[in-house]
Amino acid sequence: MEFVEIAAGRYEVIAATRSVTTLKGMFGQPRKTVSIEEMNAVIAKRGAAAR
């Protein structure tokens, strides 16, 4: 996966030919483990606030 800057501060993710497992560790350790239910609740709350 490559990140290509298409404008100042704007990037696109481009598929590469490597395995997705190469992403492991790229973004550091998560601060807190969250459940799917918690993720869905936050997405619903933020989505409703955007309207």
What pLDDT shows up at residue 31?
Answer: 85
Q: Kindly report, residue by residue over 3-45, the tens digit of the pLDDT.
A: 889 999 899 988 778 777 887 888 888 788 999 999 999 999 9
pLDDT number for residue 22: 80
For 2-22, b/e burial (b = at least 16 CB within 10 A) is eeeeeeeeeeeeeeeeeeeee
